[in-house]
Amino acid sequence: MVDRRVISTTGTVLDEATIQEFKTSLRGELIRPGDEVYDTARKIWNGMIDKHPALIARCTGVADVISAVNFARTNKLLVAVRGGGHNVAGNAVCDSGIVIDLSKMKGIQVDPTTRTARAQAGIVWGDFNNETQAFGLATNGGYVSTTGIAGLTLGGGIGWLMRKYGLTIDNLLSVDVVTADGRFLKASKTENSDLFWGIRGGGGNFGIATSFEYRLHPVGPMVLAGMVVHSAMKAKEVLRFYREYVATVPDELGSSIILRTAPKVPFLPEHIHNTPIVAILICYVGTIGEGERVLQPLRELGSPLADTIGPMPYKVFHEILDPIAPPGLLVYWKSGYLASLSDDAIDTIIAHAWSTRSPLSYTILPHLGGALSRIDEDETSFGDRYGQYAININAVWTDPQESDEHIRWAREFFDSTEPFSTGSVYVNFLGNEGEKRVKAAYGEAKYERLVALKNKYDPTNFFSLNQNIKPRT
């Protein structure tokens, strides 16, 4: 017998008439346990997360979002907010309570004249690129195309274009927000500017963003992109080279290192599948000719196992990493920023990167700097703009019996990198790691400013399932 009761955080069981009244107020679906789509609708990207909400409100627009917020507040329900559903921590879904699911809100309008786009909160970066690249335009999105624009933007947004054009939030012009009291607000530099400051880095703490307006830039459509792959045996040489190389490159070059076992993907030669590799991924957003020149030293290093760099549509390149991050696998991650890639840091990373038994696990080191580090520290609530690299250690596996082993690998690896860390962390790369780590993501002064905003916009902590900034009212 399926339990379809909806129980508030104070233990009250909602009567059926109240739920039906809410259901009829929505243009979108209201999904409950026992409904055919329930098990699909409660799943998110990380297969580790197996939560059972009492209600999933699949909103189709702002009216549904307001209705869901008012219903949840009046009836004291635990609330989760879902954008692209990609977050590893799994806060996009909850046990009992209500998921306010924006994944069907997929509208996007591009204005090629003003080079801006307004996009609803349910789209992922692949959808976004599809529309903007029709006009040869883009803004900085993530490294894969399947991440939601909403969660990524609200936490900051790092990706291929950030060195040239800044973080995603540095290209955010305005945002529409439904607050905990059900109000609809616009936030920009000129309207509710305090909220706009907080929302650019502060995650989902202040309200539900229903749509985002972005500044776009000419990108491609053809860019020089791809990867150079070396054997892990050469990792020390490759990482030391990379460190010196990226210190000299122009902002047009976005790059990241991946350390892992070579996956069975068509763009890697079959004979290297399942062998330990170090790959340097690049996307050059200047002219192809300039890019060829900038990339020459990288391509001349040693004898790579593969070199897939060539002109390709930006949209295609943006999807290239999708196969290594499919939905449904079991994932646990730890992350931080590295002040630099010292010899000791390199040795430590090499000692751990391939010591996992899972061929699906991987470590990425996105190269930061460039435009993102030149924007004033106080412009947004984003934490640390000055790390040289992020390090993101991804334990990925399929057998739940092995969870402890893989989680331990990520934790021990991460602990070993702490001497080289800035002490800070990108908030979107956090798991459920507690208040201390959330504070570390912002630093003391920004965290206090965020608490003051939380006191103003969400004094009851209605939006608590996120990298939570607790109000002090």
Binding site for ligand FAD (CB under 6 A): 44-45, 81-88, 91-92, 102, 121, 142-144, 147-148, 150-152, 154-155, 157-159, 203-204, 208-209, 325, 428, 465-466
**DSSP letter (8 states) at residue 256:** E
For the CB of residue 188, give the shortest distance to ligand FAD in the complex, in Å.
16
| Residue closer to ligand FAD, measured from CB, 97 or 151 | 151
Rg (CA), the chain: 22
For the CB of residue 30, give the shortest distance to ligand FAD in the complex, in Å.
19
| Residue closer to ligand FAD, measured from CB, 318 or 449 | 318
The pair of three-digit structure tokens given for residue 282, joined into one six-digit string: 């690049």
| Residue closer to ligand FAD, measured from CB, 75 or 466 | 466
For the CB of residue 1, give the shortest distance to ligand FAD in the complex, in Å.
30
The candidate with the shortest Cα–Cα distance to 91, out of 431, 379, 370, is: 431
The candidate with the shortest Cα–Cα distance to 91, out of 467, 471, 395, 433, is: 467
Contact call for residues 143 and 27 (beta carbons, < 8 A): no
The order of strands in the sheet holding 79-82 is 30-31, 55-58, 98-101, 79-82
Residue whose tokens read 């210190």: 247
| Residue closer to ligand FAD, measured from CB, 14 or 187 | 187
The answer for residues whose C-beta is within 8 angstroms of residue 201's C-beta and 6 or more apart is 154, 155, 156, 169, 380, 381, 382, 383, 427, 442
Listed in sequence order, the DSSP H helices in 187-327 are 193-199, 235-246, 288-299, 314-318
| Residue closer to ligand FAD, measured from CB, 305 or 457 | 457
For the CB of residue 44, give the shortest distance to ligand FAD in the complex, in Å.
6
The Cα–Cα gap between 237 and 113 comes to: 47
The Cα–Cα gap between 135 and 113 comes to: 10
For the CB of residue 343, give the shortest distance to ligand FAD in the complex, in Å.
27
- 3-state secondary structure (DSSP) of residue 294: helix
For the CB of residue 419, give the shortest distance to ligand FAD in the complex, in Å.
25
For the CB of residue 217, give the shortest distance to ligand FAD in the complex, in Å.
17
For the CB of residue 86, give the shortest distance to ligand FAD in the complex, in Å.
3
| Residue closer to ligand FAD, measured from CB, 347 or 435 | 435
Dihedrals phi, psi of 31, to nearest 5 degrees: -105, 135
For the CB of residue 415, give the shortest distance to ligand FAD in the complex, in Å.
22
- CA 133 → CA 125, 142, 161, 269, distances in Å? 11, 15, 14, 29
| Residue closer to ligand FAD, measured from CB, 53 or 85 | 85
The pair of three-digit structure tokens given for residue 325, joined into one six-digit string: 């991050």
The per-residue b/e assignment along 250-261, b for 16 or more CB within 10 angstroms, e otherwise, is: ebbbbbbbbbbb
Q: Which residue minimizes CB distance to ligand FAD?
A: 151
For the CB of residue 366, give the shortest distance to ligand FAD in the complex, in Å.
7
| Residue closer to ligand FAD, measured from CB, 133 or 140 | 140
Residue whose tokens read 């439904």: 178
| Residue closer to ligand FAD, measured from CB, 88 or 283 | 88
| Residue closer to ligand FAD, measured from CB, 81 or 117 | 81
The pair of three-digit structure tokens given for residue 270, joined into one six-digit string: 């079959």
| Residue closer to ligand FAD, measured from CB, 269 or 459 | 459
For the CB of residue 324, give the shortest distance to ligand FAD in the complex, in Å.
8
The candidate with the shortest Cα–Cα distance to 165, out of 126, 142, 138, 144, is: 138
